[in-house]
Amino acid sequence: MYVLIDDLKKEHALVLEMLENAKNYGILSKNGQDSLISIKENLVAHLDKEEHELYPYLEKYAEKNEDFLETLKFFEKKMNYIADYARSFFDKYIGVEEELNFFTDFSVFFGLVKQRIRDEEEVIFKKYEELLKEDELSAESGF
């Protein structure tokens, strides 16, 4: 298996676990607030890693493959929506003293993150692994 993909999948699992913990702690507790801050920091670091280590390789391939270019554009558009929602969510709930609509907003946020992770692992990560395997086979055969 490929190290980058393994690392990203572990980070996905960690983010999901942290989200579950934040929900269980409650937004008004110190643990809940600390969890939200930690989730935000982990998501930013994770997205930065994907942006610098995963997507440039895929974008290079997409330059030669129109269908995959459209797939990447679709993922980017969805990610921008999720990122905007995440910013709004964290701005609204980090440092609050009342719950407002936390559980409704949290359910939407958690659902968006879970769906993104599932889609990314099923489509993007698989394509990355396929391309690396093709590159390895080409290098071995001298082409």
pLDDT in tens, the chain (143 residues): 589 999 999 999 999 999 999 989 988 889 999 999 999 999 999 999 999 999 999 999 999 999 999 999 999 999 999 999 999 999 999 998 888 888 899 999 999 999 999 999 999 999 999 999 988 887 777 65
Query: Is the CA virtual torsion 88, 119, 104, 22 positive or negative?
Result: negative
Rounded Cα distance, 47 and 54, in Å: 10
Residue 69 tokens read as 């270019």
Q: Is 33 helix (H, G, I), strand (E, B) or coil?
A: helix
Q: What percent of the chain has pLDDT over 70?
A: 98
pLDDT at 100: 80
Helix residue ranges per DSSP H, 1-143: 3-25, 30-49, 55-62, 66-93, 102-119, 125-141
